[in-house]
Amino acid sequence: MRPKYYTPNEVAVHNTLKDLWVSFLGKVYDLTPLCEKYNAGDTLLKPIVASAGKDISHWFDKKTNDIRTHVDPTTACIFPYTPHGRFIHIPPPCPRSDWANDFGRPWWKDDTYCIGILSGKTRSIKIINTLTSQEQTIEVCSEEIMDEILLRYLKWNAHASSYTWKYNGTNLDMSKTLEDNNVHDEDEEFYKLSMNDDDFLPAIHLYFNDDLTEA
């Protein structure tokens, strides 16, 4: 089963204690269930809530995929580096009787919270319904195949699957990405030319499939 891709903007809207997503090291995590296990005012929740909807890759060592560490200048011991404050599943700097370490895997290593992959590159496209002349600009993930882009478009057209999708008059292969369908991402070229790429978005045309047959 293909993983689901998310744009940074999609992650950003989940930024409350009762609906909390973050991204790190290329993946997206829904930490809402984790937050529900703690009281809203719990100090250990504060750094996570403050980062709701954001990318927190800077919390981690990319080589180990674990929380970054530092040497405590007082004890000369290695501790997790948490400049924004200690958070859930991070042990206290000194032994304490009120801290239990029987929670199992720490949340950043628990794949049950992982809901998908953060897109490495997003792009905007224009979708034009030739039946109604309606146009819609949507942000998509460059890794998504056309069928997944179709699912994004359903909020504007619930019957999107009843259309043939074309680019420059050629039928698109719905099992391939935009790039694989020769709908090239030219953002870099427009940037080099100091041109606004939003003025030159690739246009996907939708043609309604009339399945009615005469008796």
pLDDT in tens, 129-188: 999 999 999 999 999 999 999 999 999 999 999 999 999 999 999 999 999 999 998 766
* Cβ count near 107 (within 10 Å): 20
Average of per-residue pLDDT across 49-68: 96
pLDDT of residue 103: 82
Q: Please give the model's pTM, rounded to 2 decimal places.
A: 0.88
The residue type of 93 is: P
Side-chain half-sphere of 99: how many Cα atoms within 13 Å?
Answer: 13
Average of per-residue pLDDT across 1-24: 96
Please check whether residue 5 is in contact with residue 87, taking contact to mean a CB–CB distance below 8 angstroms: no
Range from 20-29, 34-43, 69-78, 118-127 carrying the lowest mean pLDDT: 69-78
127 is written with which tokens? 């979708």
189 is written with which tokens? 């070229």
Average pLDDT, the chain: 90
Task: Of 158, 163, 138, 114, give the one whose Cα is nearest residue 4.
Answer: 114
Q: Which is higher by pLDDT, 104 or 9?
A: 9
pLDDT-based confidence at residue 194 (cuts at 50, 70, 90): low
pLDDT-based confidence at residue 23 (cuts at 50, 70, 90): very high
pLDDT of residue 175: 97
pLDDT of residue 197: 58
The yes-or-no verdict on residue 213 having pLDDT over 60 is no
For the chain, first and last CA: distance in Å?
42
Average of per-residue pLDDT across 40-61: 95
Cα distance between residue 23 and residue 71, in whole Å: 26
CA torsion, ordered 132, 137, 139, 145, to nearest 10 deg: 40
Please check whether residue 5 is in contact with residue 148, taking contact to mean a CB–CB distance below 8 angstroms: yes
Average of per-residue pLDDT across 100-125: 93
Question: What long-range pairs does 183-189 form, CB within 8 A, spacing at least 24?
Answer: 183/125, 185/121, 185/123, 185/142, 187/123
Average of per-residue pLDDT across 94-120: 89
Phi, psi dihedral angles at 108 (to 5 degrees): -75, -10
pLDDT of residue 74: 80
Q: Which residues, including other chains, have CB under 8 Å from residue 108's CB and lie 6 or more apart?
A: 24, 29, 59, 60, 66, 67, 89
Q: Which residues, including other chains, have CB under 8 Å from residue 191's CB and lie 6 or more apart?
A: 197
pLDDT-based confidence at residue 199 (cuts at 50, 70, 90): low
pLDDT of residue 195: 55
